[in-house]
Amino acid sequence: MAIVKPFKAVRTSGDKVARVSSKSHNIYTPRRLDSKLADNPYSFLHITNPIYTSTKEKRSEAARFELVQKKYADFKEQKVFTQDQIPAFYIYKKITALDSFCGVIAATSVEDCLNNRIKKHEGTLKQREFLFESYLKNTGFNAEPVLLSYPDNIQIDEIFEIYSQHKAAYEFTTTNEDEHLLWVVDDAADIEKITKAFQKIDTLYIADGHHRSSASCLLAERLKKENPKHTGNEAYNFFMSYLIAESALNIYEFNRFVTDLNGLTSKEFLNTLEHFFNIEKQGSEFYKPAKKHTFSMYLDGEFYALHLRVKGYPFTDALSRLDAQILYSTVLKPILGIEDIRDETKIVYSQNKSNGLELKTKVDAGTFKVSFGMHSTNIKELKEIVDSDLLMPPKTTYIEPKIRSAITIYEF
């Protein structure tokens, strides 16, 4: 049984939400970030980048987080943000040119993470976990929900449909023409319906936000030890999540770019690949793999199709059948010498939502020697790996939707 509960969100007024909410600050280039901050005094980016209005000098982590907390307090004092008076669920819908996503923002349980009722599919870096835990502890809030998926549920869909017929608390369009809507569910009967629907769901899956959920668990353990009156009901025992039906997720692949051939000539490299792959030269025209266990490769001005020789590769479990793992086990590690696939000095990743032409352009520019295009992973593969208590390699999936920061804020 998954614990999904309402909470008192900190929010802005409907007339300001389009100006307050933002993408994650790390998405912006420094130039674009400065432009956003200069043009919009209400942007949440002023909170996550408080040094913009104080000083450009470098500060310690603790000092920076203290400035974040102070800037957040300033926004609350100026009534840019106020906290809802009663706990609520928040139905959030995002409509893009190609897709529509609808889910519910709620508080989910740290205990469920620790007991594996909320399951993860990627490993995390301890350094990033500790950094974000420090951020949460020093600022006292989180404005970016963890993305969780659940099996499709008719009862939940019906509630979404009913609310979508009513006027939303938020309805705004961003400059990229995405439409955003939010409905506040504070009716006791509807809260009970949503709560009971999730109580019938045994397992939730983390689609995006592994470090945020892990950091929330670290913080909860720390504050539990520091609180002699701990009950388990404190806000720090939960974290903010955006829950969406698994069929609604969009899962894209990450392409791989490698700086060198580990001392091999191109001919030697191609000959070595033939141990595991049937290789078909595609010429200069872009090639995208259309099925599992097939990869595109761009080398020396030519695209190649790499088809796994299944008889020569041992499938032992769900992870061994994953394309990202296959590429690592057959090419990246044994041939190109990449032991640590997080080593950004040798390999770089790029999510592939568009036409994938950067597989060619980045190599032609001389930044990389070879690139690999992947076939996307699906939710069935993800769940099979997770349910087998295995983890995907980093940068296997790029999952949407991505929602804006500060639509709702969760305080500890």
Q: Tell me if 382 is assigned to some domain.
A: no
162 and 32 together in one domain: yes
The CATH number assigned to the domain holding 358 equals 3.30.1760
238 and 278 together in one domain: no
41 and 131 together in one domain: yes
233 and 280 together in one domain: no
310 and 362 together in one domain: yes
What is the pLDDT, as a whole number, of residue 153? Answer: 96
298 and 239 together in one domain: no
Q: Tell me if 158 is assigned to some domain.
A: yes
What is the pLDDT, as a whole number, of residue 52? Answer: 56
Distance set, CA 96 to CA 180, 235, 294, 326, 348 (Å): 9, 33, 30, 33, 28
DSSP state of 328: I
46 and 191 together in one domain: yes
Contact (CB, 8 A) for 65 and 78: no
What is the pLDDT, as a whole number, of residue 53? Answer: 52
212 and 257 together in one domain: no
Structural domains counted in the chain: 2
249 residue type, one letter: L
Residue 147 domain boundaries: 4-248+401-411
What is the pLDDT, as a whole number, of residue 366? Answer: 96
Q: Tell me if 372 is assigned to some domain.
A: yes
239 and 284 together in one domain: no
Distance between CA atoms of 410 and 412, rounded to whole angstroms? 7
What is the pLDDT, as a whole number, of residue 352? Answer: 75
Q: Tell me if 405 is assigned to some domain.
A: yes
- Alpha-carbon dihedral of residues 238, 241, 244, 248, nearest 10 degrees? -140
Q: Tell me if 39 is assigned to some domain.
A: yes
219 and 284 together in one domain: no
227 and 105 together in one domain: yes
Q: Tell me if 392 is assigned to some domain.
A: no
What is the pLDDT, as a whole number, of residue 102? Answer: 98
Q: Tell me if 390 is assigned to some domain.
A: no
What is the pLDDT, as a whole number, of residue 125? Answer: 82
pLDDT tens for each residue of the chain, 412 residues long: 889 999 999 999 999 999 999 998 888 888 999 999 999 999 999 999 987 555 555 668 888 999 999 999 999 999 999 999 999 999 999 999 999 999 999 999 999 999 999 999 988 888 999 999 999 999 999 999 999 999 999 999 999 999 999 999 999 999 999 999 999 999 999 999 999 999 999 999 999 999 999 999 999 999 999 999 999 999 999 999 999 999 999 999 999 999 999 999 999 999 999 999 999 999 998 999 999 999 999 999 999 999 999 888 989 999 999 999 999 999 999 999 999 887 778 999 998 776 678 999 999 999 999 999 999 999 999 999 999 999 998 889 999 999 999 999 999 9
185 and 262 together in one domain: no
Give the pTM: 0.93
Q: Tell me if 385 is assigned to some domain.
A: no
